[in-house]
Structure 1
C-alpha cells in the first residue's frame, strides 16, 4: 500500500462524511466505515446504534455500538476526533500511546457501566440502554467479548528513512475480570475478553484496494490457546498439502470466542441456533461427550500457508495463514454456545482436516473453497446461491444503470465492486465532472441495493439487521435456486430507483441529531416502508406510487407530510411494543414487527382517507 492511496482514502472519507452544511460529522464517518468493516467480516452488519456520549470528567467516550448476530460480542465504536479537519496535514501517527488513550475512553465506559458508576446518565440519552445492559445480570451473562474499534483518519507510519513508511499496530487481547453485585444476590464474577482494533487509513485503504478482502486471518495457536497443534501430514502435492488432527473442544471454543464469524468468512452459513443438526450436537455433548468424535463429521479447514515444526519426533502446527472453517462452522459454534450454557466440553474431541492451497491467486483459492464447501457439507444442505461470489443478475443491473436514462436526464451509478466509483474518478481526465454528475445521492452499492429492495416487503426486522442476511435474501429473491427468478429489465430498474428515492427521502425526513424525530431512524424507516408495502399489496401492489416517484424522481410535498406522520407514529410504536429498553436491538426481532403491523394504531392510520390518497392505495 502506497502513501498516495492512503491520502486518496482520507479525502474520499472526509468528503463522504460531510453534512449538508459541509461539516464533517462523526456519525456520518461511522456510517461510511461500517460497510467496509462488513466487507472484511469483522462485523456482522453495517447497522450501528449511534450513541454519541462524551464525558471529559470521567474520560470516557463512545460513538456507537452493535451486538453481533449471535449476541455474545459487544462491539463499540469510537472516533478519534483529532484528525477530522481537512486542513490538518499532520495526520501521521507513529506512537502506540496516541491510540491507547482513545481505547482507554471506551474501556472506562464498559468498566464504569458494569460497576454501576454511571448513574448520572439521563433516561433520554441514547447510551442509556447499553449502560443499563452492562450493569445488569443479564448483560454480564450475555457478553463474553468486548471489541473496540478506533476509527481514525490518521495514517500509522514509521519515520525510519526519508519517507514515512506505512505500518500496522496490533494490540494484544486482554482478559479482564469484573465483580458484579445484584441486590439480594451474591456477587458474580465474569471474565471479559477485550479486543482492540485500529481502523486507520492504512486499514481502510487496503479494503478499497482489495475490493473488500482485507488482511487474511492468521492464527498463531500459542497466542490463542497456549500451545501448538499436533498433526499428521496426509498429502503433499505440488500445489496442495493436507494435515489431519484431533482437536479438543475447548480449543475450538477459544478460537470461536476470539474470532467469531471471521473464522467462517468463506463458510456458507452462519450459526443456525440449536435446531436440527445443532440440536443433535448439543445433545451429544450433554449425554455422550466421549462419542462425539464418532458421531460428528468433523471440520474442514483451509489456509494458504502453514508453519510447522517437529518436537520429539511429532509434527506440530504452529500457525495458519488465511485460516477458514469451510465445513463444520455449525459444530464449532455449537460447541462454544454449549460451553457458554454451562455444559462440560472437556471430554469432547473433533476430527479436523486442514487443506493448504499453495497458490497466491485468490481466484484459485476461491474455486477450491467453493468446491470443498459444496462437496463436503453433508450435515445440512448448502444452497448453490450461497456459493456464488458473483450474480449475473447484478451484471445485468449494472448494464441497466449505464443505459437507462431517467426522466431528469441524470443517470444513477451502481457500484457493484467496492471502490469502483472512486477508481473511475481517478482514471477520468475530469474527475470533478464525474463527481458532479454522480453525487452521493445518485450512487448505490450492492449492499445498499439489497436494503432498499428488501425494505419493500414484509421483513423490516431483517433490513434492520443488515449484513449478509439481507443481501442473501435479495439474491435468493431475484435469482432463486429453482427457476429463472425475477427478470432484471427496465421496469424492474425503474421500480428499484423509486424504492431508493423513497428510502433515502424518508431517512432525510426522519433526520439525524438534534432535529431528528428520534433515535430509531435505521428501524423506523424500513418499518414504515414495509407498512406501506403491506397496505399497498392489498390494493395495487404499490406500482402506482413507485411509478409516480420514478417519473418525478422526488416525492411530493403532500406525500412527504404523510410519511413524516407515519415515521412519527412508527417511532412511537417501536418503543411501545418493544419488550426491551434497547429499542434498536429489539427492532431486529420479528416479533416486534408482528406486533407493530398488527397494532390498532397503524391500522387506523393506514385506513384514513388522507393516507390512502397520499400513498395511492
Structure 2
C-alpha cells in the first residue's frame, strides 16, 4: 500500500466525519468515521460511546470518551491524536515511523486513568462531561467491576517504514501493563491487578478494515505468551484442508485468555453469556465451587475453530504453538462462566475443560461461516439454537438491496444501501462524478448496521438500540429472517421497504432536531431519540387501540410535517428529563441500555399526562390509520419487478469500453487467461448492446473492487457523454414504472402514454415503450437493446419533465 492511498483515505474520512454544521470535530471523527470500522473489526461491541472530553495540556493528560464492553469487565477509552485531524497538516506530518510518537499520546490516557483512580483529578468543574467517568474510576464498586482498561489511540496517520525512497506500511504492537489498585468495598479493603491494553487505530488499520469490506480482525493466539507453554494435544484427524485436535485446557488458562481478549473469542458463537441467573451457568458455578474436579465430566467442553496452526511434535504429542483466526464457536458460556467465577473469587485451580480444535485451511470467510453454523447445529441437538446469517450475504439483505435499486421515492430519488462495507466508496470512485453522487445520497444512505437501530427503534426495545452493535443487529436480523419455528421471515415487498425508509427518515430527522453540542436538547441523543420513537410506537402500533401510525405519510412527504416535528421535539425534551430522573446510576448513558429504565420511563405519570394532552391527541388522530386502512396499504403493489440485474448491467455499460481498456493497461500482468476472456466478453457486450450474464457481472464487481484497492488511479476518469445514456435511460424507465405503482395505475397503460407522446414528437423507436410496458407488466425486465432504443426520448428537450 502506498503512502498516497493512506493520505487519500484520510481526506475521505475527514470529509465523511463532518457534523451537521459542516465541521469535523474530534467527537465526530471518532463517532462517524472510526467507531463503525472498529465495530466491523469486532474490537468493540457497539458504536455507542460516551463522549467525555477531558484535556489538561500542562500535565499532558487527555481523554475523548469511553464505553464499557457487553460483559462489563472492560473499560474502553478513546483518545484522539488531535494533530492528525488538523486540516493544515502536511503529508510529511501524517507519515509516522517512530513508535515513541504514539507512546507519547498513549501516556496521556494512561495518566488520566491512574490519576482518576488515585483521586487526583477532582478539580474538574461540575459541568465537565468527564466527571461521571472520573467518579467511577475512584469508586470501589466500579474498580471491582473492571479488570481491564483498553486504550484506543485514534490517529489519522499512516504508520510507515521510511527507509529509502519507497515507504512501506508498518505495524507497531504495544506491550500490556499491569498495575495494582487498592479500593474499599463496603468495610473491606481490597487490592488487585488492573491490566492496561494499548491499541493503535491508525490509517493502516482503518483502510485494512475498509478493504476487507468490514470483516472482523483476525485473532491469533500465541499460547506460549498466554499460557507460558504450547498447548498439548492429540491429532484426531488430518486431511488436505482440515485438521482436528483434542486437548484439555486448565480453567486458569482459559480465564486468562478471556481476560486478554474478552468477547472477541466468541464472535462466531451462536449463544451469548447471560449471567448466573441462567440455569446452565448457575449449574457450572455450583460445580466449580462444590466439585471442581468433576467439572470436566459434567461439561460438554469447547469447540474451537482456526484457519491456520503452528505445531510441532514431541514424544507422540502435538504441541500447538499458535492458532490463527481463533474462535470458540461452542462453549462460549462455559468460557465466560469460568472467567466470572474466578472474578467472584471461586477457586478454579482444579477445574479443567476438554476442547476440540478444528483447523479449516484455505477457506473463504463465507465457507468458514457455513462450517461453524453446522458445528453449532450439530453440537446443540438437545437445545434449539437458531442461527442466522449476520453477514452481507444474508438473503433478506440481498432482497433489500434489490429494493433500493428498484424503488424510487415520490420525488424520483433512490436510497443507497451500503450492504457490504465499502460499496458506497467504490461506487463514488467509479462514478467519475463524486461530488454529484455525494450530494445525491447525502441524506439517503444507510448501512446494514444502521438498519438494526432504525428497525428496532420502532418497537418496545429502545434500550436494545442504545446497546447497538452486534446485539441490536442480531435482534434485527432474527426479526427479518424468522426463528425457524413460530416467527416467519418478513416479506421484503414494496410496502415493507416504504415503511422501512419512513422509519429511517423519522430516526434521522429526530437526530437532527435533537442536535449536538451547545444547541442540543441534551447530552443523551443516542438514548433520547430511540426512547422517543418507542414511546410513539407504544401509543400507536404497540398500544391497545385499533390504530397504527401512518408511516406511508412520511414516505410520501419524504420528511416530517411541521406539526409532527414540533410534537416529537417536545416529546424528546420530556424524554431527556425522564431518562435522567428515573436512571438509577450516575452513568445515565450506560443505564439507558437497561430494560428496567425503559419500563420506568414508558409507564411514568409524566408520559401518560403528555400523551393525554389535547395537542397530543390531535397529532395521534391526524397521523394514525385503522387496521382496515393498513391492510389496504399492505395489499397495494405487493410484488414489484426486481431491477437489480438491469441496474448492474447499466452500471457496467455506463463505465464504457474505455474504462475496461484502462483496466487492461493497469492489470494486464495480473490477469489470468480466463480473466482476459471475461473482460473481452464484457467489452463485446457493451459494443453489441447485449445483456451481460450474471457470471460476468459478478466477475466485474470483484475485479473493480480489487482495482479500487490496488490501482485507484484507474477510477480517475469521467464517463463520456454517450455512455451516460444508459444510466439516464434506465432512470427514466424506473421513474415511469414507480410513478405507475405509486398512483395505482396500470404499468402498461403508462408506458403506452409515453409511446403516444414520443410518436407525436417524432422520436425514433417509439414502439419500444409498449414493449417495455408489457414486459414489466409480466414481471420481466427490458433488455439493454430496448434501453438504448428508449434513450432516444431523452433527446427531446424537456424530457425530464415528461413525468
Normalising by structure 1, report the TM-score: 0.96
Structure-2 residue corresponding to 1:601: 606
Check 1:2–1:379 CA distance in 2 against 1; reply closer, same or farther (3 A cut): farther
Structure-2 residue corresponding to 1:22: 22
Aligned partners of 1:140 and 1:190 also within 8 Å: no
Alpha-carbon shift at residue 387 of structure 1 (Å)? 7.2
Check 1:581–1:387 CA distance in 2 against 1; reply closer, same or farther (3 A cut): closer
Structure-2 residue corresponding to 1:71: 72
Alpha-carbon shift at residue 534 of structure 1 (Å)? 0.5
Query: Does the alignment pair 1:225 with 2:227?
Result: yes
User: Which digits, 9 at most, give the CA deviation of each residue in 1:14-69, with x for residues without a partner?
Assistant: 01111244321111111121121111111111111111121213322111111011
Alpha-carbon shift at residue 423 of structure 1 (Å)? 0.9
Structure-2 residue corresponding to 1:307: 310
Alignment partner of 1:64: what SS? Answer: strand
Aligned partners of 1:150 and 1:199 also within 8 Å: yes
Q: Which of 521, 524, 527 is the matching residue for 2:528? A: 524
Structure-2 residue corresponding to 1:508: 512
Alignment partner of 1:580: what SS? Answer: coil
Aligned partners of 1:277 and 1:379 also within 8 Å: no
Aligned partners of 1:268 and 1:386 also within 8 Å: no
Q: Which of 470, 495, 500 is the matching residue for 1:496? A: 500
1:346-495 aligned within 5 A: 346-378=349-381, 380-385=383-388, 390-439=393-442, 441-480=443-482, 481-482=484-485, 484-495=488-499
Query: Does the alignment pair 1:190 with 2:179?
Result: no
**Distance across 2 between alignment mates of 1:485 and 1:358:** 34
Structure-1 residue corresponding to 2:215: 213
Aligned partners of 2:452 and 2:473 also within 8 Å: yes
Query: Does the alignment pair 1:128 with 2:151?
Result: no
Structure-1 residue corresponding to 2:787: none
User: Which digits, 9 at most, give the CA deviation of each residue in 1:155-186, with x for residues without a partner?
Assistant: 1111123221111111111111123357x846
Structure-2 residue corresponding to 1:589: 594
Normalising by structure 2, report the TM-score: 0.74
Check 1:49–1:287 CA distance in 2 against 1; reply closer, same or farther (3 A cut): same
Query: Does the alignment pair 1:612 with 2:613?
Result: no
User: Which digits, 9 at most, give the CA deviation of each residue in 1:238-272, with x for residues without a partner?
Assistant: 11111111110000000011001111122222212
Structure-1 residue corresponding to 2:553: 548
Check 1:388–1:506 CA distance in 2 against 1; reply closer, same or farther (3 A cut): closer
**Distance across 2 between alignment mates of 1:388 and 1:198:** 26
Task: Give the number of the structure whose alpha-carbon radius of gyration is greater.
Answer: 2
Q: Which of 574, 578, 583 is the matching residue for 2:579? A: 574
**Distance across 2 between alignment mates of 1:186 and 1:243:** 45
Report the number of matched residues.
614
Aligned partners of 1:114 and 1:180 also within 8 Å: no
**Distance across 2 between alignment mates of 1:568 and 1:164:** 53
Query: Does the alignment pair 1:535 with 2:539?
Result: yes
Deviates more, 1:346-355 or 1:603-612: 603-612
Structure-2 residue corresponding to 1:7: 7
Query: Does the alignment pair 1:45 with 2:14?
Result: no
More contact order relative to length (CA 8 Å, sep ≥ 6): 1
Check 1:148–1:394 CA distance in 2 against 1; reply closer, same or farther (3 A cut): same
Check 1:186–1:533 CA distance in 2 against 1; reply closer, same or farther (3 A cut): closer
Q: Which of 278, 282, 286 is the matching residue for 2:281? A: 278
User: Which digits, 9 at most, give the CA deviation of each residue in 1:525-551, with x for residues without a partner?
Assistant: 10011000101123465432x222211
Deviates more, 1:500-509 or 1:248-257: 500-509
Aligned partners of 2:373 and 2:387 also within 8 Å: no
Alpha-carbon shift at residue 11 of structure 1 (Å)? 2.1
User: Which digits, 9 at most, give the CA deviation of each residue in 1:356-397, with x for residues without a partner?
Assistant: 112153333233222222222357432132677632221111
User: Which digits, 9 at most, give the CA deviation of each residue in 1:550-573, with x for residues without a partner?
Assistant: 111122222222222111111110
**Distance across 2 between alignment mates of 1:554 and 1:138:** 46
Check 1:74–1:464 CA distance in 2 against 1; reply closer, same or farther (3 A cut): same
Q: CA RMSD in A?
A: 1.8
**Distance across 2 between alignment mates of 1:65 and 1:516:** 20
Alpha-carbon shift at residue 215 of structure 1 (Å)? 3.5
Aligned partners of 1:370 and 1:387 also within 8 Å: no
Listed as ranges, the gaps of 5+ residues in structure 1 are none
Structure-2 residue corresponding to 1:103: 106
**Distance across 2 between alignment mates of 1:357 and 1:94:** 36
**Distance across 2 between alignment mates of 1:44 and 1:157:** 29
Check 1:389–1:245 CA distance in 2 against 1; reply closer, same or farther (3 A cut): farther
Deviates more, 1:466-475 or 1:483-492: 483-492
Aligned partners of 2:137 and 2:143 also within 8 Å: yes
User: Which digits, 9 at most, give the CA deviation of each residue in 1:112-145, with x for residues without a partner?
Assistant: 1111112112333222111111111101100001
Alignment partner of 1:461: what SS? Answer: helix
**Distance across 2 between alignment mates of 1:167 and 1:237:** 35
Structure-1 residue corresponding to 2:62: 61
User: Which digits, 9 at most, give the CA deviation of each residue in 1:168-226, with x for residues without a partner?
Assistant: 111111111123357x8464322111111111111011111111124410111122222
Alignment partner of 1:43: what SS? Answer: coil
Deviates more, 1:352-361 or 1:492-501: 352-361
**Distance across 1 between alignment mates of 2:619 and 2:397:** 33
Aligned partners of 2:84 and 2:155 also within 8 Å: yes
**Distance across 1 between alignment mates of 2:76 and 2:133:** 11
**Distance across 1 between alignment mates of 2:301 and 2:56:** 49
**Distance across 1 between alignment mates of 2:217 and 2:561:** 47
Alignment partner of 2:59: what SS? Answer: coil
Check 1:249–1:380 CA distance in 2 against 1; reply closer, same or farther (3 A cut): farther
Alignment partner of 1:573: what SS? Answer: helix
**Distance across 1 between alignment mates of 2:449 and 2:216:** 17
Alignment partner of 1:211: what SS? Answer: coil
**Distance across 2 between alignment mates of 1:573 and 1:470:** 23
Query: Does the alignment pair 1:176 with 2:179?
Result: yes
**Distance across 2 between alignment mates of 1:315 and 1:412:** 54
User: Which digits, 9 at most, give the CA deviation of each residue in 1:65-95, with x for residues without a partner?
Assistant: 1101111000011111111134422311111
Alignment partner of 1:536: what SS? Answer: coil
User: Which digits, 9 at most, give the CA deviation of each residue in 1:312-367, with x for residues without a partner?
Assistant: 66432111111111111111111000111111100000011111112153333233
Check 1:4–1:403 CA distance in 2 against 1; reply closer, same or farther (3 A cut): farther
Alignment partner of 2:54: what SS? Answer: strand
Check 1:4–1:365 CA distance in 2 against 1; reply closer, same or farther (3 A cut): farther
